[in-house]
Amino acid sequence: MKRTTIVGITDESLIHPPEIFAELSARQRLAEASLLKQQNHFIQSNCPACAAAKREFAFARSGFSFQSCQVCQTLYMSPRPTANMLHEYYEQSDYGRFIQSADHETALAPFRKDQARKQADKLIPLLQKSDHRENGILLLAPKHTMLAEVLAADAITPVHSKPAPWHDDVDPQGDRKYAIAAAFDIFERLPDPGTAIAKVYQQLSTNGHLILSVRSGSGYDLLTLWQHSDLKPAEHMNLFTVEGMSLLMERAGFSVGELSTPGHLDLQIVKRIRAQKHLKLDRFTEYFLNNRNDFASEQFQGFLQKSLLSSHMLAVGVKN
């Protein structure tokens, strides 16, 4: 097993550009409200990681209920919207159109370009050492991405999934097998991750790799802020703990090759939301934030990464 950490902090403003963040949040809240009007038609869900039914209520956020799995502690929304409702949220709402707009793309371009290069640097060595490298990469992505452009520049042409992350039907080309499947920031949004990962497993070659990243349910910022965290409920329906992610992969038949939490933002997010919402947090966090400098924050973030306690998770599964 290996674990990855990142040395050198990314500023949150690159990921949440302040010039559009407020507008984005306002539109997103309207889309959520529209979704919530249909809550009588939401569906109940067991734990998306381990399928256990035993759970306890965790918190409500913007009217959406989150449960905590009593087996793997994964946090998940239940009841939850259907795929059709999510389609409306992502594609037809004002918010959905905004996140696909040129303004939004431009504001995020510097971060996305850097992120795509790093993702490509992870995928290419995996592909090159594959016995089935000619089978290429299945890129599970909501639409055309910067990552696809970077890979294409390196003469690697990935194959996209259907252009919507909320559909569990991931393959556009039937029986084709792939050397690698990549799903960056997708599985937390899927209405049925268990079904999706089983389909990905079927579509990989023997010894094929699934590499995915998700918002983690066992990260410091979420565990500290809990109901005050900056969740977007409809986009973070499945908040896997590292233990839950391991179970999800193993249930689908994968052996886990890597579980890491290389997130950069826990401390920055806690600081921002604490200030915005005038929160008084636990004694340790308050003391730390009041009395320690940025260097200590960076060291603490490094500790969280190494101890699998950061809020962004990277997992690699190998098809047996």
Give me the DSSP letters along 211-236.
Answer: EEEEEBSS-HHHHHHGGGS---GGG-
Return the range that interacts with other proteins (CB under 8 A); candidates 6-14, 21-29, 100-108, 168-176: 6-14
Q: Compute how many residues bind other proteins; rule: CB under 8 A.
A: 21
Tell me the Cα Rg of the chain: 19
Supply the minimum distance, in Å, between the C-beta of residue 97 and other proteins.
32
Nearer to other proteins, 7 or 102 (CB): 7
Look up tokens 């990277």; give the residue.
314
Question: Is 6 a binder of other proteins (CB under 8 A)?
Answer: yes
Rounded Cα gap, residues 229 and 278, in angstroms? 13
Nearer to other proteins, 229 or 311 (CB): 311
- Residues between 231 and 270 that touch other proteins (CB under 8 A): 262
Give kind and range of the element (H or E) at residue 152.
Answer: helix 146-153
The binding track of 105-134 with respect to other proteins, each residue x by CB under 8 A or -, is ------------xx-xx--xxxxxx-----
Question: Is 1 a binder of other proteins (CB under 8 A)?
Answer: yes
Give me the DSSP letters along 225-271.
Answer: HGGGS---GGG-SEEB-HHHHHHHHHHHTEEEEEEE---S-HHHHHH
Question: Is 15 a binder of other proteins (CB under 8 A)?
Answer: no
Nearer to other proteins, 135 or 203 (CB): 135
Task: Check the CA dihedral 153-145-237-298 and report its sign.
Answer: positive
β-strand pairing of 159-160 with 178-184: unpaired
Cβ neighbours of residue 317 closer than 8 Å, sequence gap 6 or more = 209, 210, 212, 249, 252, 254, 255, 256, 257
Question: Is 87 a binder of other proteins (CB under 8 A)?
Answer: no
Question: Is 26 a binder of other proteins (CB under 8 A)?
Answer: no
Residue from 162, 199, 272, 306 touching other proteins (CB under 8 A): that is: 306
Rounded Cα gap, residues 247 and 32, in angstroms? 30
Question: Is 205 a binder of other proteins (CB under 8 A)?
Answer: no
Question: Is 5 a binder of other proteins (CB under 8 A)?
Answer: yes
Identify each DSSP E strand in 85-176 by its residue range.
137-139, 159-160
Supply the minimum distance, in Å, between the C-beta of residue 320 and other proteins.
17
Nearer to other proteins, 36 or 256 (CB): 256
Residues contributing to the site for other proteins (CB under 8 A)? 1-8, 10, 117-118, 120-121, 124-129, 262, 306
